Copies of this chain bind each other. A is one copy, B any other.
Amino acid sequence: MKTLSLMMPLDMHLHLRDEEMLKIVAPLTSYSFSGAIVMPNLVPPVTTLEGVKEYRHRIKEAMEADDFEPYMTLFYQHYSREFLESARDHITAVKIYPSGATTNSEGGVVNFDIEPMRETLEAMSDLGIVLCVHGETMGFVMDREAEFMSVYEMLAVNFPKLKIIMEHITTREAVETLDKYENLYATITVHHLMITLDDVAGGMLRPHLFCKPIAKRPHDRDALLKIALAAHPKVMFGSDSAPHPKHKKESCGCGAGVFTAPIALQLLCEIFEENNALENLQAFVSDNAQRIYGVCPEYKEVVLVKRDFTVPQMYGEVVPMRAGEILRWSIERVD
């Protein structure tokens, strides 16, 4: 039977939430990944050194594996150089959200003026702290990411030594921008490699595929697929796996997020195999991220096998993508 071994998979964009939800979802990621960039959009957001340490502690407690590193992040505020120096050893990145752009982003940035951000971003640049960006304007939903490209360009030009991650990119425009500046990188989710707006709202309305940024057009998905399958050296896998309880996801006015953590590697195997690119999956799910972020994850080998796997209807109270459907790859074992 066909097998694939993935060394030290990394999820470079992950929502673990807190409390009961954290206990459900953390083990699902720590089982098959060596590490993950953990997003700080809790309520209230993670903005203090104490907050980072305590959240990391809760994550480690919720996990059932020692061989997993939660790479911690701060929710962007205008931080002083002094504070960032003290935080340096405890965080990997700072995540910036436009205010109101997604779940729990209300305390985010209202407008992207360079000057008020200069001290923080220069200090981050000097200290080697990565900037993760949720790149959407407040414009029309299908245009929000494309409209944000000018902000990425402004950040890239003004802080040329700062590593800037265009998070969960969804458009052809973002793919084009990626190569314009040396210090721009990107994460791509597994669901944005698979779905378009048609899957969310083209037939029935499907709340479990509703996420931000929303899935775009077929040509956008094709552009993402092209660089992911090639394991473009500036691109990393980041699931943006975001659990919401079933009752909230299916009630009127559901929150945004697709839950993929426990099935992401299996889905990626399917996609990369279908496109004859399995040999590039290792770089997409780990090597690129190690090089871009300069992280050295602990040893973990995930062996996948081409054997049908039926996705559970629920993990705890969370409905995963493809619930009840059959995937063609399974995780055989983790060494």
Q: CA–CA, A200 to B197, complex, Å?
A: 12
A255 on interface, CB distance cutoff 8 Å: yes
Work out how many copies of this chain go into the complex.
2
Residue of B at shortest CB range from A215? B201
A-B contact pairs, 9 of them (CB 8 A): A140-B198, A140-B217, A141-B197, A141-B198, A141-B201, A142-B217, A201-B214, A204-B256, A205-B207
A297 on interface, CB distance cutoff 8 Å: no
Within 72-103 of A, Cβ neighbours of B (below 8 Å) are at none
Q: CA–CA, A205 to B196, complex, Å?
A: 16
Q: Given B140, B200, B204, which contacts A218 in the complex, CB threshold below 8 Å?
A: B140
**A200-B201 in contact given A218-B140, A250-B252 (Cβ < 8 Å):** yes
A71 on interface, CB distance cutoff 8 Å: no
Question: What B residues does A208 contact at CB under 8 A?
Answer: 252
A206 on interface, CB distance cutoff 8 Å: yes
Within 229-276 of A, Cβ neighbours of B (below 8 Å) are at 250-256
Residue of B at shortest CB range from A217? B140
A202 on interface, CB distance cutoff 8 Å: yes
